[in-house]
Chains A and B, each alone.
Chain A
Amino acid sequence: MPNIIACFKWVVDEAYIRRTASGELDFSSVDYKIGEYDRNAIEEAVRLKDNLGGSAIALTVGVPEATKGVKDALSRGCDQSCFITDTTYRDLEPSQTAAILAEVIRSRIQNYDLIICGEGSSDLYAQQVGPRLAEKLGIPCISFVQKVSLEEGKLTVERRVEEGIEIIAAPLPALVTVLPDINVPRIPGVKDTLMASRKPMIMIKKDDLAPIGESHLRTASLTAARMERTCERFGTDAAEITRFAESLRKKGVVG
């Protein structure tokens, strides 16, 4: 029976990011969530476990507040969680996150068959942690997967590429990153949330691990994306519809 690890990231909910009048990003009233794409990773791990037996472990690296995300992941059906946390883990880059995850998987989890990651985090969307983690662990990596099947020691997946689909087989343990359309993540109910609080949660501190390397990328700036548009409004009566069509014609985009 497979032991499956689902990795996720606790991220800023981008719907709450505001722009100040001067065009700066305002994070003052943000809320957090499990990244959209990571919910598919958790769901897939739980579905596989439900079908095949075994276990699903939710794994994350983050600041102490991310403990809310750990509870959320458990209420989404994972059996246990492993949370590596430190106040300095706010702006880790993919190479650092992958290094931490690899060390923990190697030293604390060991016995695993499949690691599932989302196709990218919904904040930075660098789409690197999965493939980098597989390299660190020296296991096969298949990204952008839309269907997973597991049989005795073997993984078969459908991987999406620009030109179509590839059916791919790999030995276990392996890592896959899954596409958002692989499943529809469940919405946890009250009972799920209550049950989650009784599940085992392992917490690992920064000091328990080898020091991580320096970041490779330096963010020179992070600014609000500009969408400079004229934002002209129109009504729905005949004259307004004509004026709208005229505006398009004047721009030369409609014949």
Chain B
Amino acid sequence: MAGVWIIAENREQTLELLNIACELAADIGTRVAAFLSQDHERVQDYIDCGADEVLVLPPLASDQSIDAYIPIIAEEAKTGDPDLMLLPATMRGKEMAARIAARLDTGLCSCCTALTYDEGSKSPVMERLAHGGAAVQKVTCTTRPAMATIPPRTFEPATPKEDRHGQIRELPAPPPSEVKVLEKKMKERVAKDITEARIIVCAGRGIEKNEDLAFIRQLADALGGEVACTRPIAEEYHWLPEELCIGLSGAQVKPDLYLGIGVSGQVQHLTGIRNAKVIAAVNKDENAPIFRAADFGIVGDLYDVVPKLIAELKK
């Protein structure tokens, strides 16, 4: 049966994966199938946005998590023999993908940021970062299916086309899970979503005490931007919430302007800002790695520079 299969948790992720899946399916000369696990009225929506087939998963029990579908999806893939399976590189998506890959005994490209189809080798070429973001690794998969997880917002969402038809197939219900979800605590958004911010002022370890974050906030206000931080500020000092933390294991941002204040620029952090349009930094250490990754850098004490900057920006 073959095809490019996508397995996502919600509509936003599905549409994004449909976009890249359709592109690759056209190159491979195959079709696109999307799994749908909730909101079953979305079947036609997914078909309009590029799915040739929608595989409908029955609802989960209240104590089950989406990973309960793993055996169903893996069985389906064993008989359906897809060329490529794509999942979002979310926390659940990454675990599911690795477990499905183990069951299918195949390769998985984690956090894949670019995907092309190589006509010569007849296989997808998948790109990802390694060594904390210092290196770009390109991989191909020698077994079927090739699998990849894709960080959310890597691609644009697919848009609906008119007059599209597709097949719908109902899949069996998942077996009961040994792992039980006892409780779900949804996060109250304590902070704005920094992945959406156009201007980010990032607080780094150069800031000496919690109270000093106040003028980082003033600077952000002067710029009309949001405050974010490096890992130590959130994790060691707990001055700012976890979701404001930028980096390899935090948020990957793509603002128009990133301004790092007292940020040294460890490679893991730089990985989170590499898609910023302009990177600027203030740091007193002229050898800080941030300056090699920045368009504009002020070498100076942040306690001297930041007030001057605020005054200048208010002009």
The residues of A with any CB-CB pair to B shorter than 8 Å are 12, 14-15, 17, 19, 25, 37, 93-95, 98, 119-120, 122-128, 130-132, 134-136, 140-144, 156, 159-171, 174, 180-181, 184, 213-227, 229-236, 238, 240-242, 244-245, 247-248, 251-255
Contacts and interface: CB of A to CB of B under 8 A. Distances in A.
**Chain B contact surface mostly:** mixed
B235 A245 contact: no
Interface stretch (B38-46, B54-62, B159-167, B305-313): B305-313
B1 interface: no
Interface stretch (B19-27, B202-210, B270-278): B270-278
Greatest chain A CB density within 10 A among B94, B105, B131 is at B131
Contacts of A233: 286, 291, 297-299
What is the interface residue range for chain B against chain A? 35 or more
Given A217-B109, A231-B297, A222 B130 contact: yes
Given A95-B107, A122-B132, A135-B103, A227 B274 contact: yes
Contacts of B119: none
A253 B108 CA distance: 38
Nearest to B313: A245
A132 B299 contact: no
B107 A215 contact: yes
B111 to A, nearest CB: 7
B136 A225 contact: yes
Given A17-B134, A125-B111, A127-B110, A216 B178 contact: no
A218 B143 CA distance: 10
B102 A170 contact: no
Contact of A127 (B98, B138, B141, B182): B98
Given A125-B110, A231-B295, A254-B223, A245 B278 contact: no
Contacts of A238: 308
B142 A214 contact: yes
A169 B97 CA distance: 21
Contact of B300 (A214, A236, A248): A236
A240 B313 contact: no
Contacts of A17: 131, 134-135
A119 B94 CA distance: 11
A225 B135 contact: yes
A163 B90 CA distance: 11
B76 interface: no
Interface stretch (B28-36, B79-87, B184-192): B184-192
Contacts of B182: 156, 167-169
Given A127-B98, A131-B98, A216 B141 contact: yes
B185 A232 contact: no
A123 to B, nearest CB: 6
Greatest chain B CB density within 10 A among A164, A214, A248 is at A248
A248 B180 contact: no
B256 interface: yes
A229 B279 contact: yes
A227 B292 contact: yes
Contacts of A37: 249
A161 B266 CA distance: 25
17 contacts: A14-B267, A17-B131, A93-B107, A124-B131, A131-B99, A134-B99, A161-B90, A217-B107, A217-B140, A227-B274, A229-B292, A230-B295, A235-B298, A235-B299, A236-B308, A244-B309, A245-B315
B180 A169 contact: yes
A142 B257 contact: no
A165 B184 CA distance: 6
B224 interface: yes
A172 to B, nearest CB: 10
A168 B179 contact: yes
A223 to B, nearest CB: 5
B78 interface: no
B181 interface: yes
A218 B280 contact: no
B313 to A, nearest CB: 6
A162 B108 contact: no
